[in-house]
Amino acid sequence: MSTVTQMKCACESCLCIVSLSDAIVKDGKHYCGDACANGHPAGQGCGHTGCGCDK
């Protein structure tokens, strides 16, 4: 049995892979940062290189 230590950000349009130890957890889902966790309230992306999520 292996232990999962990383997973895709729960934001649908986000491409980031997050470490479970570093993720922002909201409603039981793991996000790469506050922008994704809060649903991109100002339309901003997560700011990570190569990722264009904004919704």
Within-domain flag for 31:
yes
**What are the phi and psi torsion angles at 36 (to 5°)?**
-65, -45
Domain that holds residue 21: 6-37
pLDDT of the chain along its 55 residues, tens only? Answer: 788 899 999 999 999 999 999 999 999 999 999 999 999 998 999 999 999 898 6
Within-domain flag for 50:
no
Within-domain flag for 52:
no
The total number of residues written for the chain in this structure: 55
Report how far residue 25's alpha carbon sits from residue 38's, in angstroms, rounded to the nearest whole number. 11
| Domain count within the chain | 1
* pTM over 0.75, yes/no: yes
Q: Hey, what's the torsion of the CAs at 10, 26, 47, 12, to 10 degrees?
A: 20
Phi-psi region of 13 (alpha: psi -120 to 50; beta: other; left: phi over 0): alpha
